[in-house]
Homo-oligomer: A and B are copies of this chain.
Amino acid sequence: MREPRVAILGGGFGGLNAAKALRGGPVQVTLIDRRNHHLFQPLLYQVATAALNPSDIATPIRRVLRRQKNAGVILGEATSVDVRGKRVLLRDGVVPYDFLVIATGATHAYFGHPEWEKDAPGLKTLEDAIDIRRRVLLAYEAAEREDDPARRQEWLTFLVVGGGPTGVELAGALAEIARHGLARDFRRIDPRTARVVLVEAGPRILPAYAPELSEKAAARLRRMGCEVLVGTPVTAVDAEGVVAGGRRILSRTVIWAAGVAPSPIARSLGVPLDRVGRVKVEPDLSIPGAPEVFVIGDLAAVNDEQGRPVPGLAPPAIQGGRHAARQILRTLRGEPREPFHYLDKGTLATIGRNAAVAQIGRLRTEGFFAWVLWLVVHILMLIGFRNRVLVMAQWAWTYLRYERGARLITGEVPQLLPQGSARTAE
């Protein structure tokens, strides 16, 4: 008799942990992802800010599942799910299933202004990170070649939209690059005169943390040289800057770290979605009317015991993946389903050198201790001994030398200045 087929969409934290939790089970697992790699998203901002290499935080999914005999991997893009026919439609194929785990996550949202994306890229994929790194480094190059002081300052203004953990981490890292990372590299500009502006529409940054931690984080960012603007919604974005809180801020490098747009595959399921487009799952994370289909991670709208929404972070995705796998195995054994309980182990966000915020149960702390905790947790969570060693080596280098090693601009040859306008080198 054929073993039940479990298809898993997405090789992020949720999907990968669902697959691993099915190891040894009486099922045939197929993990489908449009990338060949699992991405360690919590460190993605470090690639965008030239501290780490892309492959340091990416592991081939095949490698992770190499020894798991009942799991295969397909590199392909799922376009929709045929819930009634129990099959996933790929752009170039079809994968039938008996159980399905959907873990395709979310991307950034532009609040109905998709045209902002080209001038304010977001940070979700390795390609995004490489693009942002390129923009940041090119901005300094353009400033070095620019004669006009006003335009030069536009190139030396870096603006981050969104005061969540990603926005805070990006702003902190950009401030460090300006102050230390490039200080001696240029001849005509002083990178230390660069402005880094963090803009948040809500009343405080890091809204998922306790108010006192938000305040400490903002104070720390300001000491590092960032301008932190709260209660400042962005209402326009173009190639030369933004309008934030009704005020024009000129900046040639705007990075978007706000909003959540769940994967569009949710719409093909034919089940109710919440306001932003997440799937309203049953208590066991399956979807209404199709108990063989689970939705986990950022794509699922789930509340915790206190009725608060479970955040879009790695730990809930990991727990959701394991939960879905367990329910599949229980169902195969004829056992009833269990509801999903999110166990909040705490959250950490780094701000910069020697500084992070931590909120773990009743512990709330900001500073060096939180930063060390952040380092340890992230090294331990990285997949693969090789990645751990390489990341630690580069962090040590960056820490000791105040220098970011991956300052690489790849891609098309840029034209930095309007034709013929460039000054000579005197």
Interface residues of A (CB under 8 A from B): 2, 5, 7, 28, 30, 34-37, 53-56, 58, 60, 62-63, 66-67, 72-77, 87, 90-96, 126-127, 130, 137-138, 141, 144-145, 182, 184-188, 386-387, 389-390, 393-394, 397, 401, 405-411, 413-426
CA distance A397 to B96 in the complex (A): 39
Measured between beta carbons, the chain B residues less than 8 angstroms from A394 are: 386, 390
The answer to whether B55 and A426 have CB atoms under 8 Å apart is: no
Please provide the 8 A-B residue pairs with the shortest distance between their CB atoms, ordered closest to farther.
A93-B422, A30-B425, A62-B185, A75-B141, A55-B406, A53-B53, A72-B187, A92-B417
* Between-chain CB contacts (< 8 Å), 22 pairs: A28-B426, A30-B425, A35-B409, A53-B56, A55-B406, A55-B408, A58-B408, A60-B407, A60-B408, A62-B182, A72-B188, A72-B425, A75-B138, A75-B416, A90-B422, A92-B417, A92-B419, A93-B421, A93-B423, A94-B420, A95-B425, A126-B410
Known contacts A55-B53, A77-B413; A37/B418 CB under 8 A: no
CB < 8 Å neighbour of A424 from B54, B96, B414: B96
CA distance A280 to B144 in the complex (A): 35
Measured between beta carbons, the chain B residues less than 8 angstroms from A36 are: 137, 141, 407-409
Measured between beta carbons, the chain B residues less than 8 angstroms from A73 are: 187
The answer to whether B141 and A91 have CB atoms under 8 Å apart is: no
Known contacts A393-B390, A393-B393, A420-B92; A409/B5 CB under 8 A: no
Closest to A145 in B: B74
The answer to whether A74 and B413 have CB atoms under 8 Å apart is: no
The answer to whether A92 and B416 have CB atoms under 8 Å apart is: yes
Closest chain B CB from A78 CB (angstroms): 11
Measured between beta carbons, the chain B residues less than 8 angstroms from A91 are: 413, 415, 419
CA distance A406 to B28 in the complex (A): 28
Measured between beta carbons, the chain B residues less than 8 angstroms from A414 are: 75
CA distance A407 to B35 in the complex (A): 11
Closest chain B CB from A155 CB (angstroms): 12
Measured between beta carbons, the chain B residues less than 8 angstroms from A386 are: 394, 397, 401, 405
Closest chain B CB from A399 CB (angstroms): 13
The answer to whether A422 and B92 have CB atoms under 8 Å apart is: yes
The answer to whether A5 and B426 have CB atoms under 8 Å apart is: yes
Closest to A7 in B: B425
The answer to whether A424 and B95 have CB atoms under 8 Å apart is: yes
Closest to A36 in B: B409
CB < 8 Å neighbour of A186 from B35, B62, B418, B422: B62
CB < 8 Å neighbour of A63 from B55, B397, B407, B411: B407
Closest chain B CB from A338 CB (angstroms): 28
Using A36-B141, A386-B397 as known contacts, list a sample of 8 further A-B pairs with CB atoms less than 8 Å apart, ordered by residue number in A. Answer: A35-B413, A54-B408, A67-B184, A75-B144, A92-B418, A92-B420, A92-B421, A94-B420
Measured between beta carbons, the chain B residues less than 8 angstroms from A66 are: 184-185
